[in-house]
A and B are shown apart, each in its own frame.
Chain A
Amino acid sequence: MLSSMAAMTCLHEFQKYADTVAVSSAIYDLFEKEPALGLFVGEENKLRTDEGNLLTPDLTFRYNNDLNGLLFELKYTLPSHIQDVKDTLLDLKKYLNATRGWRTPSGRVDSIDIVLVCCDDDVPIAVKAIKELVSENVKFFDNIGFALWAWMLTPVRSGEREERMRLQRIYGKTRNAKLEERIGSTGGTRISEDVLRYLRWLISFIRQKPPVQYTMHLLIQNIFPSLRSSFRSNERVVDAPLDIICQRCTSFFPPWWEPEVDPPQIRRGWLKEAMNSLVGLKIIEKVPDRNECYSIPFPTFKARKSLPQRLCELLALSQRKKGKRGRPRIKPARYPSRSANDRLINNYL
């Protein structure tokens, strides 16, 4: 049983991130199967502004004979405060300046469409924020070229097994007529079965920082086992530097991420945070006297429960412990010291 609300939220965040990663593969698959919708720019996706600033949206496509660009930004969760959501939305405007690096003869495209993809849980706050921005005369959200899409898991009723995971247009439009036809139909577009069956394992991260429990699970399930040299020997513990762990994780990040500048540092930060959280939960240990080196036991985590569920319970418990330790103490009463004028109670009897 999940011990608290915090643990349940933690698990929900984990699932949302995992599904958003699947949606990323689904969008890629949609264009891969229907090249008429656009061409995947892929790993050369080093977009730059005229000033030379680097921009790396989640997914980049070209369409209409390479005249137009289409960018996707995926968010597994949006902030809970409306102002923060508005800031997130306004941040998307920076992609309009992505003038270079489109792999066209001129390196440029005539126009850029931006699609924000979020989970259906976040649709109400996202729509509210967009409407407020429109009322504040931010033209970007009112014009063609910006769209909000949501992904949803449709519940399965008895006898119905068709509806599963769908992508739906919620707000706005892109200039890509063919794509709009697909996504604009009633109920949106169905995510392909290949994605649901195996393409969801293609990558494990999007650009947005994952919740720490997600990275922890990925490390325990897929990275740590690969660190052991032999599974026969009595090798019960392996010392692994963070660099090796980062190297092993490389193929789980989108291949179109640039192998230079910021992204590797960002990934490293995510992985370090997850490793330190595992240390905090006493699942692994830090190697004394060695910087950023961890001692990993095998099997790393043995539980009858699903790993994310157990991790979330432990994280929730550790958070609770940090807040308050043990039983609340009763403050001992303080008595002011007796002055020379004070008399003993016995004097009144």
Chain B
Amino acid sequence: MSLLAVTSSHGVKIWMETLIPNVNSMMSMRLAFDKKYTTRSKKPSLKALILLTKYSPSSLEQFIQENERLSKKYRIKVESIESDLSKLYVEKEIRGRLVSGEAIVHSKQEGCLIAYTDEKDYFVKHVLETLFNDLYPDVLRVYFNYKQIKRFFEAVKDKCSGSSILTHISIGIRKETKRSKSKLLLWEFGAEDELEKQAKNYRIWIDYLDFEIKDKNDRILLQGSLTNKGLIRLKFGEFSYFQESLISLFLELAFRWQRFFSERERHVEEGKIKLSPYAISYPADIDEKQILELEKGISSFYSYSVIHGGNPYFVVNLSDYIDGSSFGLTILDNTITITPMLFSTAYGLWKLSHRIQRIIGEGEIRNI
């Protein structure tokens, strides 16, 4: 493993390659990553991608083989290391160039997979993330908005009995009156207050948040970042601690929201139809322009039947092309109401809520 780290002319230690080929057990993975991420050096961060699925890592190969489109796009190989640990090799051609890399898939907890990799960001963004996006509805990425992430950090703070600070937040921002989107970075302390202010005047989307977790003695335990799609990066800190505290808490949150979106299909109970709608609320009324944007935005993912357009009262019946879930969606004042129909899955509902929030802006998801 020493070959993988070199010292530059400026005396800075640079990690050249991924440690994954050397991982042959959970123990070796912990040791390798602990060593790599507790030394201050220039290196790609460790990425943990949280995925929800009822399938095992070995099924991923089969999913790709069965799907004509995906089998042309990706070449994957899954090799079992331990009972709940597998090595995933992915290859994808991007603009005539083969991009490949590896990840370790941890499947100890039922209902989810965690893909760890210390490959470069390019591989993660253009190969690994797209692979799992394409595996929907068998595999679902988790989607969180700022309010949900904030609650997560509060839980982290309680667990480490120290402090968790959001060091900077990257958000997508759009003025109500303008169509253009822009990015904004909120720096250092007070970023959260600033975000609250921005949310009142603009429609915002969280892209990622950088964080620092400190113990009681103000010693940095973890330094990393978190995206709204369940990708957690570890830049500095013990891998074991990262896995045991941050990842496990994140999974708890993911399962909680999965339960929220589950079992909402319309059904007959004692001769009566039961509906289980939920709502996404906003601080301000949703205007006609936003409704039009939503209609345009959903048209490529859903078969949709507009019953009422115009008017700020919007009614549409949607059916997910891939997942097959169908929903009734209405917009009235500042609330979007989603009513699952005859067939709808938790994954389908979660994905729909995420897509709506990417178009309209982040809102508060609540039961009705």
Contact = CB atoms under 8 A, between A and B. Distances in A.
Interface stretch (B14-22, B63-71, B242-250): B63-71
B307 A302 contact: no
A193 B332 contact: yes
Given A198-B368, A222-B317, A307 B304 contact: yes
A198 B337 contact: yes
Contact of B303 (A18, A197, A228, A302): A302
A326 interface: no
Interface stretch (A87-95, A126-134, A231-239): A231-239
Contacts of A307: 303-305
B271 A225 contact: no
A320 to B, nearest CB: 23
Interface residues of A, number: 49
A38 interface: no
B311 A255 contact: no
B277 A301 contact: no
A161 B312 contact: yes
A201 B324 contact: no
Contacts of B279: 197
Given A222-B319, A231-B324, A251-B273, A306 B306 contact: yes
Contacts of A251: 266-268, 273, 342
A236 to B, nearest CB: 10
26 contacts: A18-B315, A161-B285, A164-B311, A165-B313, A196-B332, A197-B330, A197-B335, A199-B275, A200-B315, A200-B330, A201-B275, A201-B339, A225-B325, A225-B343, A226-B324, A231-B323, A233-B66, A234-B66, A251-B267, A251-B268, A255-B272, A303-B303, A304-B299, A306-B305, A306-B309, A306-B316
Interface of B: 63, 66-68, 137-138, 266-268, 271-273, 275, 277, 279, 285, 295, 299-300, 303-309, 311-313, 315-326, 328, 330, 332-333, 335, 337, 339, 341-343, 368
Given A196-B332, A222-B343, 16 more contacts: A19-B307, A153-B308, A156-B312, A161-B312, A196-B313, A201-B277, A221-B305, A221-B317, A226-B343, A231-B137, A232-B63, A250-B268, A251-B268, A255-B268, A299-B321, A309-B306
Interface of A: 14-15, 18-19, 43, 153, 155-156, 161, 164-165, 193, 196-203, 217, 220-223, 225-226, 228, 231-234, 248, 250-252, 255, 298-309
